[in-house]
Amino acid sequence: MIYEKIISRRTIRRYVQREVPREVLIKCVDAARLSPSARNLQPLKYLIVNDKRLLRPVFKTLKWAGYLPEYQPSEDEMPRAYIVILLDKRISEKPGHDAGIAAMSISMVAHDEGLGSCILGSIDRERLCKILKIPKDLEILLVVSLGYPAEQSVIEEMKGDDVRYWLDEEGVLHVPKRRFEDVVRWNTYEL
């Protein structure tokens, strides 16, 4: 069951304009909070953004699809919530892998609740700090956008080394993935 959830979860950038329930946002952050943390330092903090007055300003600080610059969600397709993952520099100066683990936990809980998500690292951090009044001792690591999907994304077998995702004429996003045989070795790396 977990395997099926993981392989069916795709990045979603366009959303239906329907509010994300507060209880689901709490579950997402609670899953992240309880996820593994290097040396159990737990240096991450989470800022849930679901205030309608903040959604558009936050949206404008994010970049959405590096391989498809024209493929940006419109303001009518923007997320209905965000979870900003922050590093508390008073606890640790180095985030390690904690933010990635937390972001995936958030995304998987969201997927299980019927939501789509996008883990974003291309952020105008300075502007977002001002908008959300984030203090200097907290550093923005990632933003996870959340909402009910308004698009479809499918996996394609990767051809050669081309990792670029693409849109078909129906607006379905095709995401190439390397074959299992190309990324796995057993016991030693020798072929």
- Over residues 11-34, the pLDDT tens digits come to 999 999 999 999 999 999 999 999
Measured between alpha carbons, how far is 110 from 112 in angstroms, rounded to an integer? Answer: 5
For the domain bounded by 152-191, which CATH number is listed?
2.20.180.10
Q: Tell me, what's the pLDDT at 78?
A: 96
Q: Tell me, what's the pLDDT at 96?
A: 86
Q: Tell me, what's the pLDDT at 68?
A: 85
- If pLDDT is split at 50, 70 and 90, which confidence band does 70 have? confident
Q: Tell me, what's the pLDDT at 80?
A: 98
Q: Tell me, what's the pLDDT at 139?
A: 98
Task: Encode pLDDT of 101-126 as tens digits.
Answer: 999 999 999 999 999 999 999 999 99
- If pLDDT is split at 50, 70 and 90, which confidence band does 71 have? confident
Mean pLDDT, residues 175-183: 94
- If pLDDT is split at 50, 70 and 90, which confidence band does 69 have? confident
Q: Tell me, what's the pLDDT at 94?
A: 87
Task: Encode pLDDT of 122-171 as tens digits.
Answer: 999 999 999 999 999 999 999 999 999 999 999 999 989 999 998 999 98
Written as six digits, the tokens of 180 are 């299992």
Closest among 147, 153, 135, 65 to 106, alpha carbons compared: 147
Task: Encode pLDDT of 1-13 as tens digits.
Answer: 899 999 999 999 9
Q: Tell me, what's the pLDDT at 1?
A: 86
State yes or no: pLDDT of 66 exceeds 90.
Answer: no
Domain range annotation of the chain: 2-150, 152-191
Q: What's the burial of 175, exposed, middle or buried (CB within 10 Å: 0-12/13-18/19+)? A: middle
Q: What is the 3-state secondary structure (H, E, C) of 79-123?
A: CCEEEEEEEECCCCCCCCCHHHHHHHHHHHHHHHCCCEEEEECCE
For the domain bounded by 2-150, which CATH number is listed?
3.40.109.10
Tell me, what amino acid is at 166? Answer: W
